[in-house]
Amino acid sequence: MDSRWLWALLLLCLVHISVNSVDVSADSLPIIDFALVGQQKCGTSSLWHYLRKNSDIYPLAGKKETYAFCIDRAAVPRCDNLLQEYIDKTERDRASERAQGRRVYLGDFTSTHFACPCCPATLKLLNPGLKVIIMLRDPVFRAHSRFVEQVQFRTLNHTQPGQPPGFNARANTTSFAAYVDWVVGQTEACLQRARAREGALARRLTMECYMRDHVIGFSVYDSFVLNYLEHFPDKQVLVVYMEDLAAEPLRVLAQVEAHIGVPHFPYSADDVGTVFNAHGAYGWGHALNSSHPRKGGLEWASTPADSNATAVLAAVERLRRFFAPSVQRLFALADEGRITRVPQAWRAIYGKSAMLGGNPLAALLSAKG
């Protein structure tokens, strides 16, 4: 036989072996493997950057924030976007993996899909076996962090075109204390109307109240966590905490990888030494490196309009009392083994006995001077 034929035969065999070593045919893989759904300002950017070291993980469309079913600063999600367009994107990504003969774990990284009543049902349509990841952070610190960011971006009172206004839209202030007064008042009035209804409608209206403010409402986690748990079995929903990611990044990364089912990547200490979008340093060019001490999410950049420390502390205490019932419902979910154990520090701030005493956040904040 002509040697060219032999070579061709050999090549065919090799191609056959490599194609069959990993089953990457389109219909054997889910449309999407996992979704990191949020919450904003809870360390999702850091987690995203760390996970990108693992080449078996691929973010949908190669980016963070697809905003597929809910955009930023929107009081209403858009789960009625064309699903075929979403599927087309995933198929393009799958095709490029296939070209490399690799089984890549495709994930949607969008931090606005958490505070979104219709998102779990939509994501479940795409993959009933979806692995969901939720990142949370101390709610008062998250709210303050989002406030500082929005003041810095000058977008606090912005509303997306065509959207009903959030409570933020009329908050023409750059003072955190004034903002808390305004939004907590609005939210409480909204909740009172929601609670006059019953069952699923009351739960839905409650979520709508929280959706109307991405600074304070988005820090009320329990109803959004429960919304995901209503649509997916508990074991498909992993809750992780920014405080834990800061304290033990390697352990949390291993936990997330095991949840996705992706092979573990051996991250080095350097890989996880960078904190993204930390206060006052937004954008990729401003990542804080490991020479900055980690505070585990308890960063507090003061706002110029808040020179009255007494007023700030009063606002913080009002928020702590506003968030406590929601945080206590997370404690209950954790105690029942339905979600990951909540950071111990949260119990000292929002636990039932902590609520009987003075504000433990006051000491924390004045220590920061």
Ligand X SMILES: *[C@@H]1O[C@H](CO)[C@@H](O)[C@H](O)[C@H]1NC(C)=O
Closer residue to ligand X in complex, CB, 255/274: 274
CB of 301 to ligand X, least distance (A): 16
CB of 287 to ligand X, least distance (A): 9
CB of 312 to ligand X, least distance (A): 8
Bridge partners, 34 (sequence order): 107, 131
CB of 35 to ligand X, least distance (A): 31
Closer residue to ligand X in complex, CB, 66/173: 173
Q: Cis before residue 160, ω within 30 degrees of 0? A: no
> What are the C-alpha distances in Å from 256 to residues 130, 228, 361?
13, 17, 30
Active-site annotation holds for 41: yes
Closer residue to ligand X in complex, CB, 199/283: 283
CA distance 262 to 225: 24
CA distance 237 to 177: 35
Site residues, ligand X (CB under 6 A): 157, 170-174, 182, 289, 291, 308, 310-311, 314
> What residue numbers does the annotated binding site cover?
137, 145, 284
- Catalytic residue (one of 41, 64, 89, 131): 41
Closer residue to ligand X in complex, CB, 103/292: 292
> What residue numbers does the annotated binding site for 3'-phosphoadenylyl sulfate cover?
137, 145, 284
Closer residue to ligand X in complex, CB, 84/289: 289
CB of 211 to ligand X, least distance (A): 19
Name the residues annotated as catalytic.
41
